[in-house]
Amino acid sequence: MIIELGHFALVLALAVALILSVVPVIGAARRDAAMMALAPVGSLVLFALVAFSFGVLTWAYVVSDFSVRNVWENSHSMMPLLYKYTGVWGNHEGSMLLWLLIIVLFSALVVIFGKNLPETLKANVLAVQAWIASAFLFFILLTSNPFLRMNPAPAEGQDLNPILQDVGLAVHPPLLYLGYVGFSVCFSFAVAALIEGRIDAAWARWVRPWTLAAWTFLTAGIAMGSYWAYYELGWGGWWFWDPVENASFMPWLAGTALLHSALVMEKREALKIWTVLLAIMTFSLSLLGTFLVRSGVLTSVHAFATDPSRGIFILGILTLFIGGAFGLFAWRAPRLKSGGLFQPISREGALVLNNLILTVSCATVLTGTLYPLVLETITGEKISVGAPFFNLSFGLLMIPLLLAVPFGPLLAWKRGDVLAAMQRLYAVVALSFVAGLVLYYIENGGPVMAAAGLAMACYLMLGSLADLWYRANFGKLAFNVAWRRLIGLPRSAFGTALAHFGLGVTVLGIIIVSTYETETVLEMRQGMTAEAGGYTLVFDGMRHAVGPNYTDDQGHFTISKDGVVVADTWSSKRLYTARRMPTTEAGIVTFWFSQLYVSLGDAMADGGMVVRIWWKPFILCIWGGCLIMMLGGFVSLSDRRLRVGAPSRKAKVAKPVTPVMEPAE
Amino acid sequence: MMRRVLIAVFMLFSALPALAVNPDEVLKDPVLEERARGLSAHLRCMVCQNQSIDDSNAELAKDLRVLVRERLTDGDTDEQVLDYVVSRYGEFVLLKPRLSAKTIALWSAPIALLLIGALTMILFVRSRPPLKTVTPLSDEEKARIDELSKG
């Protein structure tokens, strides 16, 4: 009965979403307060209905109600409770429901935080959110309904895909979706602005925190997914340029560009049209990613062709929203007035360069991901575009971008001075060169390019600190005065510095691990030793263990350095009983930022085991840097300017021409 | 039905612990082995989802790894090994497609986009009125300001 209630709530949600899609827009056009007032109430009701429906599905998983087909297909009564909860989104139907839940959650958040949004803008934004929600409600109800029953109900479920039974993957989709779908708010704001035909600084102030929040969650989601792939797949890779990864990386690249262009718009009222376009593109890439992952088109063009109902549906949604938004843009954008002027060499100019490179690299990833699909569809010829292509093309594009990062914040708005910025960066360049050489020496040489890469990473980290240093005016002012100035800097300044510093840390990790990691593949018998990264590993033998829904063959390794035992680890091969599916659970030991990664291979006839041992120097920097970037995002979000909220338009009109000194940030 | 089968196949391969190179395949000559690993990273495992033969433990990937090593031991250059593998399995096997008529759009996309973007920017900047430079006040004006501020 409760399942049917959940199903019914979803149908009801569709009805609400459809009303919400139409009435507030008409209200905004007619300036009808009652019709516009429907938007906030309706959005909250919509959220309540979808949340209830999601709760019902979760309940079905927790109590293992196998009469629900979706639960039967993806759960098992013996599965640990945590995975019963997370199993809800470990499958197509459930993850689409999560997608929907998050989009209506964001609508509700706009209602809660948007108390002083102009009425017409709010009504239009919530209506556009409801358009997207309606489309996905249709999709779920018509092609991917999680509430379908089975009669008779099976006694036992088919278990969740074992590689998904993991804490990392349990939290990965919600984080990723918070980012992915969070950009829908920017999209809705952009479309609403186009409908109204006006954009002002208040608009930018509203868009920026949403962009920042979505970007921060997307960073977290991607980092989590990467770390999960690293420890769970058992061969120590952390980024594969897999189309599924690219699908989440493209909105991140576009979102990063949007974050920066929204800054220009907020401070200087320039790049308005471009920001609107970018907001539309970012969410379009999120939709494209959903299509790529959810339609099956990636598995094979043929798999898509044999059962295209879902794929065609999402493709329809994709065309409708992207086409519609771009059409609207082409029609209305010329009406928007372009704003502040600036010289090519200025903070704005640097941010434009940032946008150019980020958009081109995003387009490169997009081309590489879709090229094989398009080529095969058109000519029938099959080619592969894999990691070597992306490493080369994307890598080359990143070099000028990374070099430019520390310059941006040091240039003044409107009209900057490259030479002055360079003078300020002399010390940074010199220091990072030395730091690069020191690291190069510590890691015992290697290709010369590695030294350059290391210096580049240090340059990014030091460059972000230099920005804070010069703003507080250390060196010129007395230390305690400068210190007080530093404390007094707006939080967004720290946010920028943290995010850029984190980028440097990630680059450092990537360069060190790709240059200096070592891999040893050997057959080990009990008592044998192996060397990796200066540590000695002793293979102590195997044991058999039984988990709740799997059996484990575990190998024990003792790790010592200079004859002293420093750690030990279990590395195992696991067999999930319900699906007869094997997985590896690598043994990972952390030393500071570096890790030893031990993975078991096949058992040999003579009792030995194939063992793979990787030494991954500084690998934790890759995700540590992402954590720092996220921290930067949150710090920036907590900035007083954003907390106090955007000035309403009326307030702006009240005092029209008072020139306000822009703080140099 | 076909889709189910394909998904099952995909699941099977994606979930297999990918355990790549086995100790018995490794060449004695470390320089040759290094080259073999480099080449393997550029060759696609034909039955997997986006995995190189270096990462995959499928039978076919193992055969290809062994084949690459055989060719290298026979004295082939890297290019010859790739040519040979392509002649047997087609362009699909290369993870970094070669520049040809059908991949020209792929390879030129980043450069073309960068150029178009930069050009648009330049044209855009040129089309806009130059930023007005502020002329310094004349002595006369300064004197007038002083006078006003006193009064």
Chain A CB contacts of B23 below 8 Å:
521-523, 610
Contact A490, A457 (CB under 8 A): no
Contact A625, A508 (CB under 8 A): yes
Higher-confidence residue of A296 and A148: namely: A148
User: In the predicted model, what is the mean pLDDT of residues A297-314?
Assistant: 70
Higher-confidence residue of A163 and A36: namely: A36
Q: Do B94 and A383 touch (CB under 8 A)?
A: yes
At A304, the pLDDT band (50, 70, 90 cuts) reads low
pLDDT score recorded for residue A341: 76
User: In the predicted model, what is the mean pLDDT of residues A388-412?
Assistant: 93
Q: Which residues contact A33 (CB under 8 A, 6 or more apart)?
A: A27, A119
The DSSP element (H or E) to which A100 belongs, if any, is helix A92-113
Q: Which of B118, B129, B131 sits opposite A356 (nearest CB)?
A: B118
User: In the predicted model, what is the mean pLDDT of residues A287-301?
Assistant: 79
Q: Do B109 and A363 touch (CB under 8 A)?
A: yes
Contact A203, A266 (CB under 8 A): no
Residues forming beta bridges with residue A546, ordered by sequence position: A551
Q: Which of A394, A521, A524, A598 to mutate to test the interface with B (most CBs of B within 10 A)?
A: A521
Contact B22, B59 (CB under 8 A): no
* CA of residue A155 relative to chain centroid, distance: 39
At A183, the pLDDT band (50, 70, 90 cuts) reads very high
A542 has pLDDT over 60: yes
Amino acid letter, A619? I
Q: Which of A233, A300, A392 sits opposite B6 (nearest CB)?
A: A300
Distances (CA, A) of A96 to A143, A289, A314, A429, B139: 11, 13, 11, 48, 72
At B129, the pLDDT band (50, 70, 90 cuts) reads low
Please tell me which of A157-161, A253-257, A373-377, A581-585 the model is most confident about, judged by mean pLDDT: A253-257
User: What's the pLDDT tens digit per position in A197-212?
Assistant: 888 777 888 888 999 9
The token duo for A383 is 């080619």
User: What's the pLDDT tens digit per position in B37-52?
Assistant: 999 999 998 887 778 8
A300 has pLDDT over 80: no
pLDDT score recorded for residue A270: 82
Please report, in angstroms and rounded to a whole number, the separation of the first and last CA atoms in chain B: 93
At A655, the pLDDT band (50, 70, 90 cuts) reads very low
Please tell me which of A262-276, A437-451, A508-522, A648-662 the model is most confident about, judged by mean pLDDT: A508-522
The token duo for A358 is 């980020």
pLDDT score recorded for residue A650: 44
- The C-alpha angle with vertex A304 and arms to A17 and A316, in degrees rounded to 5, equals 30
A4: left (phi over 0), alpha (psi -120 to 50) or beta: alpha
pLDDT score recorded for residue B45: 87
Residues forming beta bridges with residue A554, ordered by sequence position: A543, A572
User: In the predicted model, what is the mean pLDDT of residues A509-514?
Assistant: 93
Q: Which of B114, B122, B127 to mutate to test the interface with A (most CBs of A within 10 A)?
A: B114
Q: Which of B51, B52, B110 sits opposite A364 (nearest CB)?
A: B110
A398 has pLDDT over 90: yes
A467 has pLDDT over 50: yes
Round to whole Å and give the CA distance between A151 and A208: 50
Round to whole Å and give the CA distance between A236 and A227: 10
At A257, the pLDDT band (50, 70, 90 cuts) reads very high
Q: Do B6 and A582 touch (CB under 8 A)?
A: no
Handedness of CA B117, B122, B125, B127 (dihedral sign): negative
B6 has pLDDT over 60: no
DSSP A421-464: HHHHHHHHHHHHHHHHHHHHHHTT---HHHHHHHHHHHHHHHHH
Please tell me which of A295-299, A306-310, A613-617, B8-12 the model is most confident about, judged by mean pLDDT: A613-617
Chain A CB contacts of B117 below 8 Å:
356, 359-360
How does DSSP classify residue A569?
Answer: E
Round to whole Å and give the CA distance between B31 and B37: 10
Chain B CB contacts of A299 below 8 Å:
6-7, 10, 49
pLDDT score recorded for residue B10: 41
Burial group, residue A250, by CB count within 10 angstroms (0-12, 13-18, 19+): buried
pLDDT score recorded for residue A421: 86
User: What's the pLDDT tens digit per position in B132-144?
Assistant: 556 677 788 888 8
Q: Which of B2, B19, B64 to mutate to test the interface with A (most CBs of A within 10 A)?
A: B19
Strands (E), A548-658: 550-561, 564-576, 581-585, 587-591, 594-603, 609-616
Round to whole Å and give the CA distance between A273 and A204: 12
High-pLDDT (> 70) share of chain A, %: 94
Strands in A529-532's sheet, in edge-to-edge order, are: A529-532, A535-546, A550-561, A564-576, A581-585
Closest Cα of chain A to B110: distance in Å? Answer: 6
Higher-confidence residue of A293 and A62: namely: A62
Round to whole Å and give the CA distance between A372 and A390: 14
- A 406-465: CB under 8 A from B: 414-415
Prediction ipTM score: 0.85
pLDDT score recorded for residue A507: 96
Give the mean pLDDT of chain A: 89
Q: Which of A91, A235, A361, A401 to mutate to test the interface with B (most CBs of B within 10 A)?
A: A235
User: In the predicted model, what is the mean pLDDT of residues A506-512?
Assistant: 95
The token duo for B18 is 């990918």
Least confident piece of the model among A347-356, A583-592, A624-633, B122-131: B122-131
Contact A183, A214 (CB under 8 A): yes
The token duo for A460 is 């990014």
Contact A585, A553 (CB under 8 A): no
Select from A150, A23, A192, A159 the least CA-distant residue to A90.
A159
Chain A CB contacts of B22 below 8 Å:
521, 601-602, 610
Residues forming beta bridges with residue B43, ordered by sequence position: B94
B151 has pLDDT over 70: no
The two most distant CA atoms of chain B are separated, in Å, by 98
Centre a 10 Å sphere on the Cβ of residue B140 and count the other Cβ atoms it contains.
8
A630 has pLDDT over 90: yes
Select from A185, A246, A170, A245 the least CA-distant residue to A215.
A185
Centre a 10 Å sphere on the Cβ of residue A594 and count the other Cβ atoms it contains.
22
Q: Do A381 and B91 touch (CB under 8 A)?
A: yes
A618: left (phi over 0), alpha (psi -120 to 50) or beta: left
User: What's the pLDDT tens digit per position in A133-177?
Assistant: 999 999 999 999 999 999 899 999 988 888 888 888 788 999 999
A386 has pLDDT over 60: yes
How does DSSP classify residue A557?
Answer: E
The answer, for A234 touching chain B at a CB cutoff of 8 Å, is: yes
Please tell me which of A521-535, A572-586, A651-665 the model is most confident about, judged by mean pLDDT: A521-535
B17 has pLDDT over 60: no
User: What's the pLDDT tens digit per position in A564-577?
Assistant: 999 999 999 999 88
Select from A284, A368, A294, A361 the least CA-distant residue to A327.
A284
Q: Do B42 and A367 touch (CB under 8 A)?
A: no
pLDDT score recorded for residue B121: 84
The token duo for A561 is 């350095």
